[in-house]
Chains A and B, each alone.
Chain A
Amino acid sequence: MTQPGKNTLSGLVVNRAMRRQVIRLSQDTPIGNSINALIKYKINALLTTDAADKPIGVLSKTDIMGAYYAGLPIDSPLSHIMSTPPLFCSPEDSLEDALEQMRSNGIYRLYVNDPENDEIVGALAYPDIVGMLYLYCHECEYSHFRQKRKKDKDGVRRFAVEEIMTREVKSVFKDEPLLQVMELLSEYRLGAILVKDRENIPCGVISKTDLALIYKHGVDSQTAAKAIMSSPVQSCGADELLEDAIRKMIFTDVHRLFVHQSTPDNIVGVISLSDAARIRSGSCHACISSRIKVDAP
């Protein structure tokens, strides 16, 4: 049973939430080849290794965007753009400690090193933690999904998307160049940006994944946003339940949803799996795990 005031993440260890498949590439790998691995495995970063196959750095989509922005040749080695060193935690560390380590270092993932055998056994990133908590919520007796089947309501207050979403939504106009897109993504540390037409109607989204792909395809960074954006904008309503939004993201491999209010064109926020993990993770007030706080509110 959960004690009042006690974080239910207590007692949960990294081992429970980590992703066990860790993609690693030699630091000599050309950037272009690493993009294939990121796309194929749908990951935001991979581990880079030295000649002795020891982990030496982390290569993220942000690093790739930086290379594209700087006009680096696509066949440059990962060693030129990777971040070093990788940060590690242990499979038996508590999730709270791991989250704190990520927060205090301003990073989005830790690699999990098994101290006994000194080998990498997993990777821990925010979306994986949301995934694990979603599983808990799904199995919980207060689950919105289970409650739907019952007639009487339980009175538990559930989070709506608007309570969790980021309200400041950055956007570019569809005729602005990709260089501008990359500057904004970098400045505000975003994973994606909304694209609008000159009448301020949202018409698409550009993510770091899209940018990695077109870098590989040799598209000029002066190209207009509209040429590469994905549309339509994937969105959900501000008053929808957080549980439903998380569910939609987890099931359809979408990392973020824009949030509309009243009409689909009125975008008032954005919610990503990372936000859901960093701010609050569960979907209702029934247990304390829904209130883990990683970032200061």
Chain B
Amino acid sequence: MKIAARDIMTTGFHTLTPETPVNEAIKLFKQANQEEGRKIFGMMVTDNDGHLIGMISMYDILIYMRPKHIHIWGVMDDIDVAGIIDVACEKTKSILVGDIMTPDVITITPQTHIFMIMDIMIKKHIRRLPVIEDGKIMGIVYISNLFYDLLERFADE
């Protein structure tokens, strides 16, 4: 019976280093999508010793790309400034994964009960939780892992 993180976690995962420029990270997201055969919306960031130091999600990158004053000019239908998107993309070259990642990461252990995982994801509005044991990354639980587990339970009925 699957009852804990270790039973449902994904053990094949990709990580990023904090020194990776954000534009490179976006390419690595694409590569990880292909290699894992699933849509990857967030990756763990590790230091040289493989310890977890943060997470970077698609959302972090989108927040950074969002123009600061968009609420002012987003409503104008007659803007004609060429190349705004190119300028925003250019800025991702000089900013690093470590600069915009979320450093405070909630983690679970292999023993964490799946209902506990469900509760954390709902309360904290997060969709992925790294699984850590003795300081080492054992895997990651995606919100989809929880749902696929449910699907299996119903299929067995």
Interface residues of A (CB under 8 A from B): 19, 29-30, 32-33, 35-36, 39-42, 127, 131-132, 134-135, 138, 145, 213, 216-217, 230, 247-248, 250-253
Which residues of A sit under 8 angstroms from B100, Cβ to Cβ?
36, 39-40
- For B78, list chain A residues within 8 Å (CB): 145
> Are A40 and B60 in contact, CB atoms less than 8 angstroms apart?
yes
A–B complex contacts, Cβ < 8 Å, 17 sampled: A30-B103, A33-B104, A36-B100, A39-B95, A39-B99, A40-B100, A42-B64, A42-B68, A127-B69, A134-B72, A134-B73, A135-B72, A135-B75, A248-B81, A250-B72, A251-B81, A253-B91
CB-CB under 8 A from B150, the residues of chain A are none
Please tell me if B76 contacts chain A, counting CB pairs below 8 Å.
yes
Q: Please give the distance in Å from B44's CB to the nearest CB on chain A.
A: 16
B67 — which chain A residues lie within 8 A by C-beta? 251-253
- Once the chains bind, are B103 and A33 in contact (CB under 8 Å)? yes
Complex formed: what's the CA distance from A250 to B91 in Å? 16
B59-105: which have CB < 8 Å to A? 60, 63-64, 67-69, 71-73, 75-76, 78-79, 81, 84, 87-88, 91, 94-96, 98-104
Contacts of A217 in B (CB 8 A): 96
Q: Given the interface contacts A134-B72, A138-B76, does A252 sit within 8 Å of B84 by beta carbon?
A: yes
Which 7 residue pairs across A and B have the least CB separation, nearest first? A131-B72, A42-B68, A33-B103, A40-B100, A250-B69, A251-B81, A131-B69
Min CB–CB distance B22 → chain A (angstroms): 11
Number of interface residues of B (CB under 8 A): 28
Contact B99 A253 (CB under 8 A): no
Chain A residues near B103: list those with CB within 8 A: 30, 32-33, 36
A35 and B76 contact, CB distance less than 8 A: no
Contact A213 B72 (CB under 8 A): no
A256 to B155, CA, bound (A): 61
Contact A216/B99 with A33-B104, A42-B68 known, Cβ cut-off 8 Å: yes
Inter-subunit contact A40/B64 (CB<8 Å): yes
